[in-house]
Structures are given as structure tokens and as C-alpha cells.
Amino acid sequence: MTSPADTPNAVRQDKYYLALPLGQRSPLRVIVDKRNLLANLLLLGLLILLAGASLNIGSAASLSLPATLRALLGDGSPLDTFVIQELRLPRVIAGIVTGGAFALAGCLMQTVARNRLATPGIVGLDNGATAFAVASVVGTGISLAPPAMALTGAAVAAALTFGLTGRIGVRGYRFLVAGIGVGAVFGALTQLMLTRVSIDAANAAYPWTVGSLNARPDHAVLSLSLALPPALLAGIWLTRSLTVLRLSDAVAISLGIAAGRCRMAALSVAVILTGLAVAVAGPVGMVALIGPEFARQLSAKNTVPVVGATLAGAVVMVAADLLGRMLLAPIEIPVGIVTALIGSPLLLWILLNPNARTAP
């Protein structure tokens, strides 16, 4: 007879997993991968560090650490308090939520398409959301709030790309080229709208075309902040099914997972997050590639790093914004350009390295 301690669960619990009790006397345990826990804690620490640095450093004044803390709590000098609370804190918060949203969407979509390169930016979602957001800003008859319009745009682009794939499926490279085509159409439409309107309206819509944390409309940040936690919970809830879905549909279905429904749910979450994030910061699509990639390097190999990708995306976004503000000091490089300069070589490397796997 085997004792309870010899069951596979107990062994695995010792080596790779941690069973956290849900309550003081509850028999329920949450099984956590030790490596993922460590990776997430590391990313969280990095995020706090970078957010602190981002609050500290700026072109107006680089405050000392105690001064920053005092200003953050509201009893520093009026100027410091203004700079920190009104200028830098909203920017950091916007960076964290958009980065997290983009990266979570990227992680989900990569898993659904079983392709590391299939991020929302590449398959045209960013451009679709941008086109619709610009349409609402320049006011071409449709005057829904930008977040709602961006959401609609992302949904339309996703429907187009996934609907058009049909026979060719989503796994191969052809899907990506079809997505690039859809993205090109929406990019052209954005250009079209920007040339039709007056220069003032075009300038108002400009941040949406490069990706920047400068504009960050308040209601857009608010709606994204409200949407991110439920989306993250949904992602965590989907993790187990998605992990199995990475193998094959046959395996997933035989394990009792509704493959179609699960894929649809993950895709919807990705579309919502991308649309709302574009409404805040514009198309910073490369974060959706860099964030999950970063998290995957740190996390255990056999899981879908949903939480890790969210944290890593926030880290990348805040770091890129900080870098963009510091590099050419009086001029600010939009965060979209910084991430594109970092992300494109990474993308090329994944694509051209003959040994790289395309499956996430």
C-alpha cells in the first residue's frame, strides 16, 4: 500500500509546486508553480523599482527619494506635489495598465493561434482600433467615445483577420501575412482620415498614430483600469484550458475542454484589452510581443504565463517610456517608437532563427 506522501501530487508538491491553503482551516489548496511564483515576484519587484524611477526622473526636476515619497503622500512642496501627483503618477499608472493589457492580449492571442509571432499588432488589431479611434476624434459623423470606438475597431479587425483566414488556418505564417494586409488597409484608412480634416483635428489625433503616453485621456485610462483586473482573472481561469490547447484540439477535447468556446473567450479578452489599451496609448503593439516573450523566458516551460506576461508588459512599457523621456532629454521619444526599435529585431530574430520554435 502506498502512503499519501508517496502519491504523485505530494512528490510534485515538494519539488516544483507549492500548495497554498486557501484559509486557516480550509482543506482547499491552491497549487502554485514555484518557478512561476518566483518569476512573478521578480517582475513585480522590477515593476515597483521602475515605477519609482519613473516618478523620480524627469525633465522638470529629478527629485530625491524622500522628496518623491513626501510628494506622493501629499506633504511635499507644492511644486513637487504637482509634478508627482498631476504629471508623473498618472503617466506611470497609464503605462502600467496599457503595458499589462497589451501583453496579456498578446499572450492570449499567441496561445490561441499557437504562434509566437501572432500578436494583436501584427494581425491588424492595433491598426483597426487606431483607425476607429481616429475616426471618433476627427469626428467623421460618428461620435462615440474613443474607447468604445477603439474597441469596435479592434473587434472589426479581429473579425476580418480571423474570418478571412478560413481554410488557411491560424497556425502558419500565411495567417500573419493576411493580418498584415488587414492592418495595411486600416493604416491607409487612418491616413485618409488624417488628410481630410483640419490641421488641429489631425494634431489632436496624432498620438494615436505613433503610440505615446502623452495624451492618455482620463476616461480611457479609467475604463482600461476597470477592465484589466477582470480580464486578468479570466486569463488565469483560462490558463489550464489554454495549456492543454497548446498540445492539440484532440487532446483538449478528450480532456473535456470546449476548445472552440475556450478559444473564443481568450480571443474576446484579447480584443477587449487591445481596443481599450489603444484608446489610451495608441498602437504600441510591440509590447504584446516583448512582454510575453520576457515572461516565457522567466517562467516554467510547461505553462502559459498569463500573470507573468501582464507584469512583464507593464515593466516593458514603463521602462520604454522612461527610456524615451531620458534618451534625447528635452525631446521625448514616443513609447511606440522605443518599443518598435526594441521589438522589431526580436521579431526578426524569432522569424529568421532556424532553431527557434514558433509555438509559444
Task: Give the CA-trace dihedral at 239, 241, 246, 247, to 10 degrees.
Answer: 140
b vs e for 222-250, b when ≥16 Cβ sit within 10 Å of the residue's Cβ?
Answer: ebbbebbeebbebbeebbebbbbbbeeee
Least separation in angstroms between residue 291's CB and another protein is 17
**Site residues (CB under 8 A) for another protein, limited to 252-311:** none
Contact letters for another protein, residues 119-158 (x by CB under 8 A): ----------------------------------------
Confirm if 170 and 245 have CB atoms less than 8 A apart: no
Q: What angle, 0 to 180 degrees and rounded to 10, lies between the N-to-C axes of helices 306-326 and 335-352? A: 130
Give me the amino acid identity at 293.
E
Nearer of residues 150 and 189 to another protein, judged by Cβ: 189
Instruction: Answer yes or no whether residue 210 interacts with another protein by CB under 8 A.
Output: yes
Stretch that binds another protein, among 12-20, 151-159, 192-200, 296-304 (CB under 8 A): 192-200
Nearer of residues 35 and 332 to another protein, judged by Cβ: 332
Stretch that binds another protein, among 44-52, 160-168, 221-229, 257-265 (CB under 8 A): 160-168
Give me the amino acid identity at 219.
H
| C-beta atoms surrounding 327 within 10 Å | 11
CA angle 251, 253, 255 (to 5 degrees): 70
266: three-class secondary structure by DSSP: helix
Instruction: Answer yes or no whether residue 159 interacts with another protein by CB under 8 A.
Output: no
Residue from 12, 174, 219, 261 binding another protein (CB under 8 A)? 174
Measured CA to CA, the distance from residue 98 to residue 104 in angstroms comes to 10
Cα 257 from chain centroid (whole Å): 26
SS (H, E, C) 220-244: HHHHHHHHHHHHHHHHHHHHHHHHH
Instruction: Answer yes or no whether residue 359 interacts with another protein by CB under 8 A.
Output: no
Nearer of residues 173 and 237 to another protein, judged by Cβ: 173
Nearer of residues 250 and 328 to another protein, judged by Cβ: 328
Residue from 50, 51, 108, 117 binding another protein (CB under 8 A)? 117
Please, what is the end-to-end C-alpha distance for the chain in angstroms? 41
286: three-class secondary structure by DSSP: coil
Least separation in angstroms between residue 304's CB and another protein is 24
Computed from CA positions of residues 207, 212, 217, 223, in that sequence, does the dihedral angle turn out positive or negative?
Answer: positive
Computed from CA positions of residues 273, 276, 280, 285, in that sequence, does the dihedral angle turn out positive or negative?
Answer: positive
Q: What are phi and psi of 214, to 5 degrees?
A: -70, -45
Instruction: Answer yes or no whether residue 178 interacts with another protein by CB under 8 A.
Output: yes
Stretch that binds another protein, among 27-35, 137-145, 216-224, 339-347 (CB under 8 A): 339-347
Instruction: Answer yes or no whether residue 333 interacts with another protein by CB under 8 A.
Output: yes
Residue from 44, 145, 148, 164 binding another protein (CB under 8 A)? 164
Least separation in angstroms between residue 173's CB and another protein is 4
Nearer of residues 106 and 334 to another protein, judged by Cβ: 334
Least separation in angstroms between residue 230's CB and another protein is 32
Least separation in angstroms between residue 333's CB and another protein is 6
Instruction: Answer yes or no whether residue 82 interacts with another protein by CB under 8 A.
Output: no
Instruction: Answer yes or no whether residue 337 interacts with another protein by CB under 8 A.
Output: yes
Residues near another protein (CB under 8 A) are 117, 164-168, 172-174, 176-178, 180-182, 184-185, 187-189, 191-192, 195-196, 210, 328, 331, 333-334, 336-337, 340-341, 344-345, 347-348, 351-352, 354
